[in-house]
Amino acid sequence: MENKVEIQDGQLIVVPQGVTKLAAVKDEIIVPLDHVVGASIDTGILNDRKGLKMPGTAMPGYWAGSFHKDSEITFFNVKQSSTPIVIQLKDDKYSRLVLGTENPRNLVELINNAI
């Protein structure tokens, strides 16, 4: 599991786990729920061009950190072998979060029900 994701006190909290915390160059990301547009599973996103990593890590089969593309910043912390969830954001530093998690379908449902 690359990330632990929770909803507490009206906020979405993403905490990279283990060594992925170092690769992602983030201890945690906290987003107000009113900045969350929605969540979905998107297995095709890992095949897309990610953009320029600043700061972050990119190696075959793993992406972590902030990636800049087309005036948007996407935070990735996901392995190729994971089922990635994409959390669309508004009015935030990141346009979206692309995450590997335990039980992705349950997490997508939890996030969408919370907003």
Summarised one tens digit per residue, pLDDT across range 82-106 is 999 999 999 999 999 999 999 999 9
The closest of 86, 89, 95, 99 to 20, measured between CA atoms, is: 99
- The Cα–Cα gap between 114 and 56 comes to 29
Summarised one tens digit per residue, pLDDT across range 40-65 is 999 999 988 888 788 888 888 889 99
Would you state the pLDDT for residue 58?
84
3-state secondary structure of 57: strand
Q: Which domain holds residue 64?
A: 3-114
Give one word for 104, left, alpha or beta, with left for phi > 0 and alpha for psi -120 to 50: alpha
Q: DSSP per residue over 35-89, as a string? A: GEEEEEE-GGGGGS---EEEEEEEETTEEEEEEEETTEEEEEEEETTS--EEEEE
Q: Which amino acid is at 55?
A: P
| Global pTM value | 0.92
Would you state the pLDDT for residue 17?
86
Number of folded domains in the chain?
Answer: 1
